[in-house]
């Protein structure tokens, strides 16, 4: 049987959105009247077409049932303890306590560097602090668990006193358990929960929120000619399978975030397709997170206008993603990115 996918599109923002929602000419995304849409793209493996929300009733019975189900998830308000998705985007600030991360390796892993940077990130607007002790840049090698824990232990111990939402970036269940004992709030495993067979058991036992992240291959192999039949739909199907799998394992809570993994087993074309069509993943019913900050696709697109921090590309792609309702942005340059969002928001409200 043909499988249909539903992507919300043709978004409105700010005052224009409020007006259209009030007049019932658009549907609010996640019950947020500040961003809404009036068109759906109906996608299959061999076709795509757009329909206005007022024309849904003209579709056949099977498709109307599918659209209704997906719309319920798209409109669903995202409830997540300590995180308010009505005022999006939420910023996840990055603290790499490693000597070799692709952008800031060695910058914060000495003395109080990580703790001081955490305070700065929070001051400038980060609601989530993501701490990691293992680089997963393309070509990176695995770090032994005791070395990884040694890198992050002291900083975790200190920043829990800041009473902020803490995310632990690790693939290893042993690290997860130790981090949970240090009161972390979220597990961010770039392997898609596939690296360590004990991870699901830890998540079930502790009931902790987590990210389902997509990657093709491993950090060592992921950029060696990645291939997909259809990158957008293949990743959607991955998320759907993974959600069903964790439900079957007994994890019933909805405190789950989806991250399609820009740059993790994707070439430039794959990344562009994902960013352009990121709103498809709203129909899975969970918040979407994107890590666009300083990524290589910015270099590929900008050519001789590339820069060390790739701030322009980070901001422009971030604004594009925000206009498709992406709720969480994982960022390095929090002050500048937050500045751009504040200006953009102000210009869209009278």
Per the DSSP assignment, residues forming a β-bridge with 329 are 91, 290
> Rounded to an integer, what distance in angstroms lies between the CA atom of residue 40 and that of residue 54?
10
CA 316 to chain centre: 17
Structure tokens at 123: 């001051």
Structure tokens at 36: 């809404």
Of 228, 236, 275, the residue nearest 43 (C-alpha): 236
Catalytic residue among 151, 178, 296, 330: 330
Which class for 26: exposed (0-12), middle (13-18), buried (19 or more C-beta within 10 A)?
buried
Give backbone dihedrals phi and psi of 247, rounded to 5 degrees, phi first: -65, -40
Catalytic: 330? yes
Catalytic: 294? no
Residue 88 CA neighbour count, 13 Å, CB half: 31
Catalytic residue among 295, 310, 342, 350: 295
Structure tokens at 263: 């740059």
Give backbone dihedrals phi and psi of 37, rounded to 5 degrees, phi first: -145, 155
94 contacts: CB under 8 Å, gap ≥ 6: 104, 130, 293, 330, 331, 332
Per the DSSP assignment, residues forming a β-bridge with 288 are 258
Cβ 280 vs Cβ 326: under 8 Å: no
Cβ 282 vs Cβ 29: under 8 Å: yes
Catalytically active residues are 295, 330
């Amino acid at each position: 049987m043909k499988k249909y996918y539903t992507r919300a599109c043709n978004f409105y923002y700010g005052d224009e959105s409020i007006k259209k929602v009030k007049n019932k000419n658009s549907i609010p995304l996640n019950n947020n009247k500040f961003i809404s849409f009036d068109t759906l793209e109906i996608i299959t493996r061999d076709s795509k077409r757009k329909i206005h929300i007022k024309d849904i009733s003209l579709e056949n019975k099977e498709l109307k049932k599918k659209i209704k189900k997906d719309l319920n998830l798209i409109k669903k308000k995202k409830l997540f303890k300590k995180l308010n998705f009505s005022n999006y985007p939420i910023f996840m600030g990055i603290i790499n306590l490693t000597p070799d991360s692709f952008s800031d390796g060695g910058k914060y892993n000495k003395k109080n560097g990580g703790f001081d940077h955490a305070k700065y990130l929070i001051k400038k607007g980060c609601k989530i602090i993501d701490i990691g002790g293992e680089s997963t840049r393309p070509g990176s090698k695995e770090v032994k668990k005791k070395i990884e824990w040694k890198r992050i232990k002291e900083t975790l111990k200190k920043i829990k006193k800041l009473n902020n939402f803490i995310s632990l970036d690790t693939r290893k269940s042993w690290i997860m358990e130790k981090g949970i004992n240090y009161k972390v709030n979220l597990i961010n495993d770039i392997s898609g929960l596939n690296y360590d067979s004990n991870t699901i058991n830890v998540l079930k036992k502790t009931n902790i929120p987590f990210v389902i992240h997509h990657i093709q291959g491993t950090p060592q192999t992921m950029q060696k000619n990645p291939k997909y039949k259809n990158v957008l739909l293949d990743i959607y199907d991955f998320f759907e399978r993974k959600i069903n799998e964790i439900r079957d394992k007994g994890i019933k809570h909805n405190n789950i975030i989806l991250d399609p993994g820009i740059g993790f087993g994707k070439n430039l074309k794959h990344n562009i397709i994902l960013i352009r069509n990121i709103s498809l993943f709203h129909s899975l019913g969970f918040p979407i997170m994107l890590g666009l900050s300083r990524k290589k696709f910015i270099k590929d697109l900008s050519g001789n206008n590339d820069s060390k921090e790739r701030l322009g590309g980070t901001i422009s792609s971030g604004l594009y993603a925000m206009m498709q309702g992406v709720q969480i942005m994982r960022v390095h340059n929090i002050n500048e990115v937050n500045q751009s969002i504040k200006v953009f928001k102000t210009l869209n409200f009278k």
